[in-house]
């Protein structure tokens, strides 16, 4: 990123202050954990290219992000998987909170799976991380409407909507909203995301009416009682309170064991999670493609068209001419003509033969001087 990039600088400071390898190893030993989902930081530096300075960081390579997995599963995950993800992310949040930081941007796009072991879950992207307790002194409760609604609108906390600095309870509320979304496939405020004040009101109503407001969002095969209890505990926290992380993990346990299962939950196959926010659009008609039999020359009745009438971008001398036939059409033509050309000489001769251009991609010559070219 450019040297002036603020989020990358914030992320770098987080790793240098709070995510040293020795600190992470000691914390895991003290709590009997084999794994903690914070990406390994190897180093950083500055580089210059064409008079521009860039800042870089070297990290472990990670696998897919959870957002892609959710989208491939119709927007939902299995309940057991959601609860397991919640437990592991609570561990990560407890560590970074103990080291004076909050993440402030928990979401599926920032939850990564291990490159070699997809059962390992990492919380990545600390560009919005915030030092809520520098030198052991918690930031004061101070609302600032000018800084309101900061973060990812779907999940950002009520504290952030009010312009407060992120806190430990903010992180846990964000995580609760994420768990609810992954479990149900939607959130009550999805339809008003362009209106931050309405999103804030909808989140406040959900928190004020717990646990019923969350329980009524349950879908087939995914009762939301654990998430309701999770958010209910978060609701009891004051701005500077330290959460009971072990209690929060216990609320999400309920005998859930084994490896993560990212198979599509029942009732989610073929479902588009964004379709509910879009009005039905009229069907767009398009001309049917012209089918031409390129194997029978007697059936080709179109005449050759001068190259100057072929639709396409102007060619420059320093770039090779591009094939005007789209890849999808070219693949179809290869499949249809493969059998006819198997015995007609070498591959070099086959490539040297000129290929006919489909009529739908040609622009015909002008009918008269001054007339515009007529498209076929």
Burial of 206 (0-12, 13-18, 19+ CB in 10 A): buried
For the chain, the residue count is 376
Catalytic residue among 105, 125, 159, 171: 105
Report the SS3 class of residue 329: helix
Which residues contact residue 175 at a Cβ distance below 8 angstroms, ignoring those fewer than 6 apart? 86, 89, 90, 93, 106
Distance CA 208, CA 38 (A): 33
Instruction: Give the Cβ contact number of residue 213 at 10 Å.
Output: 17
Q: Which of 67, 51, 49, 204 is nearest to 125 (CA)?
A: 67
What are phi and psi for residue 33, nearest 5 degrees? -100, 140
What are phi and psi for residue 305, nearest 5 degrees? -110, 135
Contact indicator for 359, 292 with CB cutoff of 8 Å: yes
Q: Which two tokens stand for residue 123?
A: 């919380």
Contact indicator for 365, 376 with CB cutoff of 8 Å: no
The answer to whether the peptide bond before residue 211 is cis (omega within 30 degrees of 0) is yes
Is position 225 annotated as part of the catalytic site? Answer: no
Contact indicator for 211, 146 with CB cutoff of 8 Å: no
Report the SS3 class of residue 173: helix
According to DSSP H, which parts of the chain are helical?
Answer: 6-18, 21-31, 66-72, 79-98, 158-161, 168-184, 196-208, 212-215, 225-235, 245-251, 327-341, 347-352
According to DSSP H, which parts of 261-352 are helical?
Answer: 327-341, 347-352
Report the SS3 class of residue 87: helix
Distance CA 10, CA 5 (A): 9
The catalytic residue positions are 105
């Amino acid at each position: 990123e450019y040297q002036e990039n603020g989020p990358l600088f914030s992320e770098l400071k987080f790793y240098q202050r709070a995510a040293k390898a020795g600190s992470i190893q000691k914390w895991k030993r003290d709590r009997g954990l084999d794994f903690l989902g914070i990406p390994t930081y190897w180093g950083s530096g500055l580089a210059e290219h064409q008079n521009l300075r860039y800042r870089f960081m070297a990290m472990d390579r990670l696998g897919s992000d959870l957002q892609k997995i959710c989208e491939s599963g119709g927007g939902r995950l299995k309940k057991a998987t959601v609860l397991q993800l919640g437990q592991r992310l609570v561990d990560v949040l407890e560590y970074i909170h103990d080291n004076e930081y909050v993440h402030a941007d928990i979401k599926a796009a920032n939850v990564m799976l291990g490159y070699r072991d997809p059962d390992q879950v990492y919380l990545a992207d600390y560009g919005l991380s915030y030092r809520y307790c520098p030198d052991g002194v918690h930031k004061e409760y101070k609302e600032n409407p000018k800084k309101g609604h900061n973060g990812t609108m779907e999940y950002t906390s009520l504290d952030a909507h009010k312009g407060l600095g992120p806190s430990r309870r903010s992180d846990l509320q964000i995580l609760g909203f994420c768990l609810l979304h992954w479990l149900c496939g939607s959130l009550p405020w999805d339809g008003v995301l362009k209106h931050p004040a309405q999103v804030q009101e909808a989140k406040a109503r959900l928190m004020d009416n717990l646990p019923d407001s969350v329980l009524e969002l349950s879908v087939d095969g995914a009762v939301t009682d654990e998430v309701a209890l999770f958010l209910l505990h978060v609701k009891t926290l004051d701005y500077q309170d330290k959460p009971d992380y072990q209690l929060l993990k216990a609320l999400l346990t309920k005998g859930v064991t084994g490896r993560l299962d990212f198979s599509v939950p029942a009732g989610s196959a073929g479902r588009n999670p964004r379709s509910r926010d879009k009005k039905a659009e009229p069907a767009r008609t398009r001309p049917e493609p012209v089918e031409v039999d390129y194997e029978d020359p007697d059936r080709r009745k179109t005449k050759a068209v001068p190259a100057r009438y072929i639709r396409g971008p102007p060619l420059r001398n320093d770039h090779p001419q591009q094939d005007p036939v789209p890849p999808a059409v070219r693949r179809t033509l290869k499949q249809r003509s493969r059998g006819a050309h198997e015995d007609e000489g070498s591959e070099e001769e086959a490539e040297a033969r000129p290929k006919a251009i489909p009529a739908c991609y040609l622009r015909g010559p002008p009918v008269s001087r001054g007339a515009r070219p007529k498209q076929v």
